[in-house]
């Protein structure tokens, strides 16, 4: 009974963590460029008692912060400051409170001082990891390499200047990325890869989140049912244990 109860309780804990991730995913399904959170479970741990392994097994958690890297739906908005990354890669951002991070969010806007920020208020960085400041302009064009060409106000007709370059990176295959406690994407050591401008930038387009609401809801229903089954297992083990104790009780 002891093993049955602890196995069921461990399964309930894993399902609880999965439900937390699903709630987070559903809450961010409309956030541009959001990456779906995954449950990060690793190997199984057996209790070690008196130099021997017990039969109690527990699912161990990994470092956390795993996420799905599939691209989201590309929405042609027509807004000149909306940008998306065509396939693989990330923008560099400076969160309001935190270190430099990676992001797929490209709903940019220009602050009064000219600084480009995304919809979350994070500063967009250039290839040197410095804030991008765009002077007043009549028109703006962003190339596939992330170069920001503007027609400055008061300039000669047809005059264009490069106001900055959106810093991008396509990480190497051996680079492991995780979401931190602040929800931002970085390497496991907390740093970011060096910019290599390998990503394809698409103007007038926004990438949606890669969360599938229908899939998340169906999985949530399945997890809820499994959670109820786990609770029944715990109650059944309790009843069996009480019944065994009653049988072993000496007659009064």
Q: How many domains does the chain have?
A: 2
Distance CA 231, CA 11 (A): 10
For 33-93, the three-class secondary structure string (H helix, E strand, C coil) is: CCCCECCCEEEEEEEEECCEEEEEEEEEECCCCCECCCCCCEEECCCCCEEEECCCCEEEE
User: What is the token pair recorded at 202?
Assistant: 């698409």
What is residue 242's predicted lDDT score, i.e. its pLDDT?
Answer: 75
Q: Which tens digit of pLDDT belongs to each residue from 238-248?
A: 777 777 777 77
Q: Are 32 and 108 in contact (CB under 8 A)?
A: no
> Same structural domain for residues 108 and 129?
yes
User: What is the token pair recorded at 9?
Assistant: 């309780």
> Same structural domain for residues 80 and 197?
yes
Q: What is the mean pLDDT of the chain?
A: 87
> Same structural domain for residues 51 and 129?
no
User: What residue numbers bound the domain in which 219 lies?
Assistant: 2-67+211-248
Q: Which tens digit of pLDDT belongs to each residue from 48-84?
A: 655 655 556 666 666 678 999 999 999 999 999 999 9
pTM: 0.82
| Secondary structure of residue 179 in the 3-state scheme | strand
Q: Which tens digit of pLDDT belongs to each residue from 88-146?
A: 999 999 998 889 999 999 999 999 999 999 999 999 999 999 999 999 999 999 999 99
Q: Are 1 and 244 in contact (CB under 8 A)?
A: yes
């Amino acid at each position: 009974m002891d093993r049955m109860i602890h196995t069921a309780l461990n399964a309930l804990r894993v399902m609880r963590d999965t439900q937390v991730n699903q709630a987070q995913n559903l809450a961010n399904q409309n956030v541009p460029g959001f990456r779906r959170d995954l449950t990060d479970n690793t190997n199984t741990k057996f209790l070690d008692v008196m130099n021997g392994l017990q039969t109690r097994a527990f699912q161990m958690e990994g470092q956390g912060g795993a996420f799905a890297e599939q691209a989201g739906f590309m929405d042609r908005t027509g807004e000149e400051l909306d940008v998306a990354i065509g396939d693989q890669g990330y923008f560099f951002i400076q969160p309001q409170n935190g270190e430099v991070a990676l992001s797929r969010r490209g709903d940019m806007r220009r602050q009064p001082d000219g600084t480009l920020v995304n919809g979350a208020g994070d500063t967009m960085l250039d290839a040197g990891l410095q804030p991008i400041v765009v002077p007043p302009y009549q028109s703006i064009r962003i190339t596939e390499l992330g170069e920001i060409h503007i027609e400055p106000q008061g300039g000669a007709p047809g005059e264009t200047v490069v106001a900055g370059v959106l810093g991008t990176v396509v990480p190497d295959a051996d680079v492991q990325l995780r979401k931190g406690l602040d929800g931002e994407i970085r390497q496991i050591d907390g740093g970011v890869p060096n910019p290599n401008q390998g990503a394809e930038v698409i103007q007038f387009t926004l990438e949606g989140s890669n969360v599938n609401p229908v899939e998340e809801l169906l999985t949530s229903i399945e997890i809820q049912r499994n959670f109820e089954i786990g609770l029944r297992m715990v109650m059944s083990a309790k009843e069996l244990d009480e019944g065994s104790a009653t049988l072993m009780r000496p007659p009064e």
